[in-house]
Structure 1
Amino acid sequence: MLGKLFLLSLVCFFSLNFLSTINAETNLIADEIQSLKVTNKDPRMINFSVSLTEDHNYTSARLFYFLPNPSLNKSATRGDLNGIQSKFNNFYVDFDTNKGITGSRFIPTGVTFEYYWEFTDVNKNNYKTEMQQYLFLDGQYEWKLLTADNIFFYYYGNYNKNIQNCFLESVSVVKDGSDLLAIKVSYPINIIYYLSPSDSRYAKPTRSIVMDSMTVLGGVKYTSNVVHSYDQDCGVVKHEVTHILNEIAGHGTLLKLPFWVDEGFATYMMNKSDYYDNIIEKMINKNTVIRLSSMQGKPGTPEKVNLYYAQSYATTKYMIEQYGLEKYRSFFKILKEDFVIDEALQTVYGHDQDSLYLEWRQHKGLPIIKLVKIEQSSIPIPVATITPLNFPSKTTVNQQEVENNFSKQNNSNELAVSNFEIFINNYIFIIVGAILLLIMIKISIFLWKK
């Protein structure tokens, strides 16, 4: 009899805990929230704060945040941070977005936060706010907005001809690039336009000392819908926006575009053909052209920057002009299906990277050479997206350096997860509780019958 009572008590205990877990989180009524603020003095730190009425005595608070990835229709990053109580029912979080340390977490201005607060009162009851949105902009400046189609162009200071040109060219490059690649941009692209590199010093991630001393960062495509411009060059804006189009058209689930494909089309769309044609002609005259299969990632040194960009541009131009746009579109579509680069080229052009390079050399009148095959893995391996476009100081040309520190894991327990994973993480305890409850009920019924 005691055994039966123990089992029934255990079942009741699990049942009550299970039901209390389901009802633990309820939305706060609007009247309980006196203020809900997000501010930043500069882009290195965001302050989230909340003030509540005295209807409950809240002992703790936690901020949950999500950074949506519109290209995948899911959260690129999520995390949570403990709130600090400043006074009765007042809490805040100082969110560090740019520690200034190479490899640390970096969140660029232009991203949109989705967030909510969760509170616990003295009776251990949990409450939460409704989901909120916050567009992260540099708090040092008063931002103004120009918008057309999918472009949201943020600038500060006086409106001038260059701002107008960069805005209009960003709109046109989305239209022209989308037509060339036969894609559709279904979400907004945020362009953050700074007037000078010094104005944006707190809005950029830390780079290596060598790259900082030998190059000037002109612009960056940070995420699937955020571009920064640092030096008022409209060509840079077009280049970085094109990287977003490349991602939509050619990035697969596992494989990203090789450097020369991604940079080649982005440079092609800058409409600076005379500039890059001049560079490639000098390379041809000095026989310093570069094999495509050796340009899978960024250039290792600043000295190679000019050569990499010019070779990527020249190859892209040759593919489009010699074989036509239809084949180029097909090439991107196949890459998006996670074909490795040589397989995609063979399927569309009947070439691998080396034979395409040799054909291009022949087209340019260079001597016939033989190449030793570089063995490359046919297994799809995820690689970092190459994002920044650097304009080297004085004597060198564009440089792109991998600075993709965005959404690094840190003390806030950030994780790159999908919406489905977020759902599972939030409700796994309910599923486990339900399973335990069913098991205990079955055992109790079996023993009761015995």
Structure 2
Amino acid sequence: MRGRAKSAVWLAVMTAALLWPAGERARAATVFESLTVENGYPQTLTFRVTVRADADITDATLYYRIKGRGASAFDKPEELKPGRLVTAEVVMQVNSGQVYIPVGSEFTYSWEVTTADGQVARSEEREFLYLPPDREWKSVSNDFMTMYYHGDRETLARAYLDAGQDTYERIGRQLYGVTLTTLPVKVILFASEAEMTPARPGSGGRFDAAVTTCGTKVTNDILLMNPTPCGSTDRTDTLRHELGHILNDVAGQGTLAKLPAWMDEGAAVYAQSSPGDYEGAFRAAVRADRLIPFNQMTVPTSNPQLVGVFYGQAYFMVKFLIDREGPARFAELMRTIKSGTRFDQAIERVYGLSMAEFEDAFRAEHGLAPRSQPTAAPTAAPTQRPQQTQPTATPTRAAAQQASDGGGDAGLDRGMVLIFGVAVLLALAGVFSWLVSMMLANRREQGGGGAGPGAAGGPPAG
């Protein structure tokens, strides 16, 4: 009896082992020894795994998602040498011509491996916050925003935080009546513009060299910021401006119809505590009657000398509409565009103004005559900066220079006409002189061929 009992116990143990789910056996036989992320800011992130199994590991896959992007993705190592102890890695580009993943992005990731016997094992999920390395990042937060900073900038970070709260209340809730859903909004506060530049998408070139960038909205939940004053006595206006872009997107940016550049930038300047130097650039353009035609305000200017005028005029265009019929009507305009109506049609529907009537009324508001002839739209759109980049700059002297240079092209055309006219007159005089010479020669031949008075080599007429 005792021998039979031992046999029964042994049989039960073996049966349980055989009936144990295959996935559980794989998990027991596969050990994830390490999961790491190597931060190659500003160009790459390298996700690396070291794993051990009882059978050869033949495949590995990295699964990840970025908070606020709403989708998951996966990637595989370029090389994987099968073995029972394997280290595999995926190198992810984060700032190239084709891919841009901003600092401040929050990753959730895990690895999955397959062994030669067909078993699959999945690691636990890990989280990774992408920030520039080699700095001691700190943070302060409120109920919708987190400020990341390093060094002794806590006082400034808290000032930005308070400005963000005020702007959200004043523009988001009171003007537009919207609520942010992708939270928290993360603000990365760099020490300087130079330190921020590598984190921006597609930076470089003549425009960037001429324009100071104090802040950039890169996604609807990430702002890049530096403490450089940008044409306003209130340093926090840069954050107000960039947060304004996020609120504009939520209130008015649709999938079928988009906000024109003047409306997006003008409303962002309206979110500031004041328009700052943009107002001076605009007033100078008004005095010189050098406002930018409305049909050229739909895309951002590619001319660094016109940045101040563009932002100032955009601000006053938005202010004109808000002052004309109140904030509620402007919020209705935003909703109308978001619903899929093109902005010019939306303005006509909400305000009863065509764009030509809007432009003439705006010019009259600032003491200028109506535009007598429509200005032709540019044949090609000006070169634009990358999506998600909004420069905050204040080149106030550009407007005055632009006004003082007025008529330069026309003066050059008149000079060319004058030169051409003189050349024609000289040519006609030469032809006339030749005709007179031919007539005199004919007369001499008819009268005996004597030389005229003063002609060398001929006897005097007899």
**Where on the TM-score scale, by shorter chain, does this alignment land: which range?**
0.7 to 0.9
Counterpart in the other structure of 1:306? 308
User: CA offset at residue 389 of structure 1?
Assistant: 1.6
Distance 1:59 1:190 in 2: 40
CA deviation profile, 1:46-73 (whole Å, cap 9, x unmatched): 1212233434532331223333545xxx
Counting only pairs closer than 5 Å after superposition, residues 270-419 of structure 1 correspond to structure 2 as: 270-372=272-374, 385=387, 387-391=389-393, 395=397
SS at match of 1:296: coil
- RMSD of aligned C-alpha atoms? 3.1
C-alpha change, 1:391 and 1:326, in structure 2 (3 Å) is same
Counterpart in the other structure of 2:259? 257
Counterpart in the other structure of 2:193? 197
Counting only pairs closer than 5 Å after superposition, residues 126-165 of structure 1 correspond to structure 2 as: 126-165=120-159
Counterpart in the other structure of 1:420? none
Contact 1:239 1:266 in 2 (8 A): yes
Counterpart in the other structure of 1:187? 182
User: CA offset at residue 41 of structure 1?
Assistant: 4.9
Identity of aligned residues (%): 24
Counterpart in the other structure of 1:57? 56
CA deviation profile, 1:79-133 (whole Å, cap 9, x unmatched): 523265599232222322124xxx3322210122233322121224333335544
Counterpart in the other structure of 1:402? none
User: CA offset at residue 375 of structure 1?
Assistant: 8.0
C-alpha change, 1:393 and 1:326, in structure 2 (3 Å) is closer
Distance 2:276 2:214 in 1: 20
SS at match of 2:76: strand
C-alpha change, 1:143 and 1:264, in structure 2 (3 Å) is same
Deviates more, 1:78-87 or 1:221-230: 78-87
C-alpha change, 1:386 and 1:223, in structure 2 (3 Å) is closer
Counterpart in the other structure of 2:445? none
C-alpha change, 1:27 and 1:96, in structure 2 (3 Å) is farther
SS at match of 1:138: coil
- Choose which of 87, 91, 104 in structure 2 pairs with 1:90: 87
Distance 1:371 1:133 in 2: 60
- Normalised to the residue count of structure 2, the TM-score between the two structures is 0.71
Bigger Rg, which one:
2
Query: Are 1:216 and 2:215 an aligned pair?
Result: no
CA deviation profile, 1:231-263 (whole Å, cap 9, x unmatched): 444221111111111110001122221101100
C-alpha change, 1:27 and 1:222, in structure 2 (3 Å) is farther
Distance 2:319 2:93 in 1: 43
User: CA offset at residue 24 of structure 1?
Assistant: 9.6
SS at match of 1:220: strand
Contact 2:258 2:343 in 1 (8 A): no
Distance 2:24 2:262 in 1: 50
Structure 2: which 5+ residue stretches go unaligned?
1-21, 229-234, 379-384, 400-462
SS at match of 1:54: strand
Counterpart in the other structure of 2:223? 227
SS at match of 1:389: coil
User: CA offset at residue 323 of structure 1?
Assistant: 1.4
Counterpart in the other structure of 1:438? none
C-alpha change, 1:212 and 1:167, in structure 2 (3 Å) is same
User: CA offset at residue 291 of structure 1?
Assistant: 2.4
Distance 1:393 1:256 in 2: 27
User: CA offset at residue 396 of structure 1?
Assistant: 5.5
User: CA offset at residue 274 of structure 1?
Assistant: 4.8
C-alpha change, 1:95 and 1:174, in structure 2 (3 Å) is same
User: CA offset at residue 370 of structure 1?
Assistant: 2.9
Distance 1:288 1:140 in 2: 48
- Choose which of 162, 166, 184 in structure 2 pairs with 1:168: 162
Amino acid at match of 1:335: I
C-alpha change, 1:287 and 1:237, in structure 2 (3 Å) is same
Contact 2:51 2:87 in 1 (8 A): yes
C-alpha change, 1:234 and 1:255, in structure 2 (3 Å) is same
Q: How many residues align?
A: 362
Distance 1:274 1:62 in 2: 52
C-alpha change, 1:132 and 1:161, in structure 2 (3 Å) is closer
Counting only pairs closer than 5 Å after superposition, residues 89-108 of structure 1 correspond to structure 2 as: 89-99=86-96, 103-108=97-102
Structure 1: which 5+ residue stretches go unaligned?
1-22, 377-382, 398-450
SS at match of 1:366: coil
Counting only pairs closer than 5 Å after superposition, residues 425-436 of structure 1 correspond to structure 2 as: none
- Normalised to the residue count of structure 1, the TM-score between the two structures is 0.73
C-alpha change, 1:359 and 1:78, in structure 2 (3 Å) is farther
Distance 1:64 1:105 in 2: 18
C-alpha change, 1:49 and 1:187, in structure 2 (3 Å) is same
Contact 1:63 1:83 in 2 (8 A): no
User: CA offset at residue 141 of structure 1?
Assistant: 1.4
Contact 1:256 1:385 in 2 (8 A): no
C-alpha change, 1:66 and 1:352, in structure 2 (3 Å) is farther
Distance 1:205 1:375 in 2: 29
SS at match of 1:216: coil
Distance 2:50 2:276 in 1: 59
Amino acid at match of 2:77: N
Distance 1:119 1:360 in 2: 65
Amino acid at match of 1:43: P
Distance 2:280 2:25 in 1: 65
Counterpart in the other structure of 1:242? 244
